[in-house]
Amino acid sequence: MKLKKQARQESIKNEIERNPFITDNALSDKFAVSIQTIRLDRTQLNIPELRKRIKHVAKENHDRIRSIDGSEIIGDVINVEPNKQAVSMINIGEDSVFSRNYIARGHVLFAQANSLCVALIHKPIVLTRESKVTFLKPVKLNDVVTAEAYVINNDHKYYEIEVKSYVKEQQVFGGTFKMYYTSEDEGNG
């Protein structure tokens, strides 16, 4: 049974407060209304589109990132615990897919994961030493990819990081990255 407009809008507002990264498509499915109806409801509720909600959260996290400028990160970092774990999201647009089949180019998923690894490490210089990645499922135009990175090992020169990327709950990419870093005091003595 469909909700009346006021009840639906209240439910949409609550759903977005619970999960600010929910897509209009997911809301459309959940409330059995068109995407246009969801967009109109969001507009009337003064709730920005997903991309703007993600950018807002990402800006809050940029101050916690030391190794890379926020504008150089592929995707938007929505959570970071320096030297422990980080999460980013990217919306796959037309510039990220092959024009013949609308499947995302592999280097976009790799770049999202790699730049997330750099952002995760709280050191002045962080470079990729090596990586081993697997592309598990095709990613398509308009998919939202969430990459999760976790430190699994570190020593005096390297961090080893595991990255898993998802579209909804389906894993689409995985990899381990060995990241080299330097401290500020190296080379000054």
Give the domain ranges of the chain: 5-47, 52-182
**Count of CB atoms within 10 A of residue 89's CB?**
23
What's the pLDDT at 189? 40
Model pTM score: 0.71
Distant-in-sequence, close-in-space partners of 107: CB < 8 Å, separation ≥ 6: none
For residue 69, pLDDT over 60 is answered with no
Distance CA 129, CA 26 (A): 38
For residue 106, pLDDT over 70 is answered with yes
The arithmetic mean of pLDDT across residues 35-54, rounded, is 83
The arithmetic mean of pLDDT across residues 83-110, rounded, is 94
Any idea which architecture 5-47 has in CATH?
Orthogonal Bundle (1.10)
Per the model's pLDDT, the better-predicted residue between 56 and 170 turns out to be 170
What is the average pLDDT score of the chain?
86
CATH class label, 52-182: alpha beta
For residue 99, pLDDT over 50 is answered with yes
Task: Name beta bridge partners: 166.
Answer: 146, 171
- C-alpha separations of 159 from 21, 138, 156 in Å: 29, 28, 9
In contact, 58 and 77? CB cutoff 8 Å:
yes
What's the pLDDT at 188? 43
What's the pLDDT at 173? 98
